[in-house]
Amino acid sequence: MILLIIVLATAALALLAVLRERTLRQTRAVPPGLQSDVALPYNAEWTLYHNPFSLCSKKIRVCMAEYGVPYDSISIDLIETGGYQNISRDFLKVNPGATVPVLLHNGHPIYESHEQLNYVAGRVNEAGLLVPHGPEQKEVMAAWVHKTSLLGDHPIESPEATAGNAVAGLTIPIFASMVAKIPVLKIFEGLLFHRIKQRVFFFLLMKLTGLSKTLTLKPVNQIIHRADRAMAAHLIDLEHQLDQSGGPWICGQQFTLADVGMMVIFDRLREGDWLTRSLEDRPVLQGYWAALQQRPSYRQGCLEFAHPAVTEATQALVEIKRSGRWPSGLPQ
């Protein structure tokens, strides 16, 4: 009887602790753009909370490198790179939306990467870097910035909408490879505190199923096939745009925010071991990718932040394909 009371009391205390923690770690949607009424601690004019693997984090790092703007770098782990640091109490004080990147300017947060790019451009873009002067070119750039964006909380559901959404579907294999190394209890933490439960359940499924079996699941198979077809169409559009502009960049002679967006998509295709296949027999795109890699901002914004978990996951995917263990029905 005493033992039962102890067990029940312990369970009750544990439940109270979880409920209290949920109260302290509530997430909510935040408005995009500069939050001038929010003041956070800072040590430099610019502070960037980011994740090495996050596409949107890569965009803002590349832009800051292009502009030559120094910033305090604070890396935040997401579940795929080791833990749910983005739903920790400390980070939720920075962004109650639990997303990265977050850019601070003199302690005031700017949410959403698109807003961050525009804000930085408006503050430091005296020489017209990354943004063309002519209205027609600005219109082209804006269309391609949109085309390289991740739209919605569940981008894999609409890969035809943007190349950013398409690459999200093609990221599933590397996600599954990375999640294989994450403890199950870490993923369960997301069920308690992360506002987007569908994403957490998907990670849990990949963890429990394993990489090879995850890729053979019919819904996953369909997502990857659909994303692959959509990405092929987006790359055809890119070829046409480069031909039309005369290159070497999307807007012609000037490297712009549109190329930044495409740079990080190509880098994600590289990480997922899709890039060689995607660029096969496409000399225009091969030349474009070569030019992107030559920019110092690619090294400074992408390669220098390579995460060991991502490198290991990429190598695992390459090995699976080489060894003949890649599911026969999937593109590779």
Residue ranges of the chain with pLDDT lower than 50? 17
Predicted confidence at residue 21, as pLDDT, reads 54
For the chain, where do the domains classified as CATH 3.40.30.10 start and end?
22-124
Tokens of 305: 């932040």
H or E element at residue 74: strand 72-75
Between the CA of residue 318 and those of 121, 190, 214, 270, 276, what are the distances in Å?
A: 38, 29, 16, 11, 12
CATH number, domain 135-322: 1.20.1050.10
Predicted confidence at residue 6, as pLDDT, reads 67
How many CA atoms, within 13 angstroms, populate the side-chain half-sphere of residue 120? 31
Predicted confidence at residue 55, as pLDDT, reads 95
Q: Compute, in degrees rounded to 10, the torsion defined by CA atoms 303, 104, 88, 209.
A: -40
Predicted confidence at residue 301, as pLDDT, reads 98
H or E element at residue 63: helix 55-67
CB environment 125-143: b (16+ within 10 A), e (fewer)? eeeebbbbeeeebeebbee
Predicted confidence at residue 202, as pLDDT, reads 87
Predicted confidence at residue 16, as pLDDT, reads 53
For the chain, where do the domains classified as CATH 1.20.1050.10 start and end?
135-322
Tokens of 67: 């502009």
Please report, as a single letter, which amino acid is at residue 19.
L
Q: Are 82 and 88 in contact (CB under 8 A)?
A: no
Please report, as a single letter, which amino acid is at residue 136.
E
CATH topology of domain 22-124: Glutaredoxin (3.40.30)
Instruction: Dihedral sign for Cα 38, 130, 238, 59, please.
Output: negative
3-state secondary structure at position 29: coil
Model pTM? Answer: 0.91
Tokens of 195: 């506002």
Residues 216-232 have pLDDT tens digits of 999 999 999 999 999 99
Predicted confidence at residue 188, as pLDDT, reads 81
Predicted confidence at residue 23, as pLDDT, reads 59
Spatial CA neighbour of 104 closest among 68, 74, 145: 74
Q: Are 23 and 15 in contact (CB under 8 A)?
A: no
